[in-house]
A and B are shown apart, each in its own frame.
Chain A
């Protein structure tokens, strides 16, 4: 089955710095790649996604890039703030009907 690997598992940055989280996937038919943010005790929240016909997508301080040839996609957060601290999950849809395959998550800590 599909396998999504996510790195790093923990990431600490100073406020104002950038943070990058990377994921790789195995199913070449994957066509949808969402990113979820989960604050402690709260629901996973969809923050950005990208479809396979696009190489990059940006929403304010958040951007996602996709390299289909290399089968990897990344989340970039610029000008980080303490409220960005959370666990971030990447996922992909593989070639399935709707099922999402998740990475293990990255605990991002932004120090003031």
Chain B
């Protein structure tokens, strides 16, 4: 069964550095999402992406964040200048169609900012 994949599984970076988190959504899916989960807290929505543009973003998704679909398979989240409070588990998810509500999650990337 196809699954969403994410790399790396764990990323350690210094405050102020740029990081890029990578995701490969399920191949026939058209809607892509990023969520994050700070340790011990709720899973929070960051951004959704469809047809090569952002569909929706949350208040967390400020100018430090960007997303891109650089080719037909990858979907990336870039944090330009990381802060300590960006430390979290970042999940990518995808869904097939607008009418298909089910979102399938990747295994996550644990980002640690020191």
- Which of B3, B55, B103 contacts A100 (CB under 8 A)? B103
Query: CA–CA, A68 to B93, complex, Å?
Result: 27
**Inter-chain contact B43/A46, CB cutoff 8 Å:** no
Residues of A contacting B108 in the complex (Cβ-Cβ under 8 angstroms): 43
Asked whether A101 and B56 contact (CB < 8 A) given A43-B91, A46-B104, A49-B102, the answer is: no
Residues of A contacting B4 in the complex (Cβ-Cβ under 8 angstroms): 43
Residues of A contacting B101 in the complex (Cβ-Cβ under 8 angstroms): 32, 34, 49, 51, 93, 98
Does B51 have its Cβ within 8 Å of any Cβ on chain A? no
**Inter-chain contact A36/B42, CB cutoff 8 Å:** no
Residues of B contacting A45 in the complex (Cβ-Cβ under 8 angstroms): 105
Query: CA–CA, A97 to B105, complex, Å?
Result: 17
Which of A10-18, A58-66, A76-84, A102-110 contacts the other chain?
A102-110
**Inter-chain contact B45/A99, CB cutoff 8 Å:** yes
How many interface residues does A have (CB within 8 Å)? 23
A-B pairs with beta carbons under 8 A, tally: 59
Instruction: Give min CB distance, A8 to chain B, whole Å.
Output: 15
Query: CA–CA, A36 to B41, complex, Å?
Result: 15
**Inter-chain contact B58/A99, CB cutoff 8 Å:** yes
Instruction: Give min CB distance, B30 to chain A, whole Å.
Output: 11
Q: Binary interface profile of A, 31-49, with partner B (CB < 8 Å = 1, else 0)?
A: 0101010000011111001
Query: CA–CA, A102 to B45, complex, Å?
Result: 9
**Inter-chain contact B56/A46, CB cutoff 8 Å:** no
Nearest B-chain residue to A6, judged by Cβ: B42
Query: CA–CA, A44 to B35, complex, Å?
Result: 11
Query: CA–CA, A105 to B89, complex, Å?
Result: 15
Nearest B-chain residue to A45, judged by Cβ: B105
What are 10 A-B interface contacts by the 8 Å CB criterion?
A43-B3, A43-B105, A43-B108, A45-B105, A46-B104, A98-B98, A100-B43, A101-B45, A102-B35, A104-B42
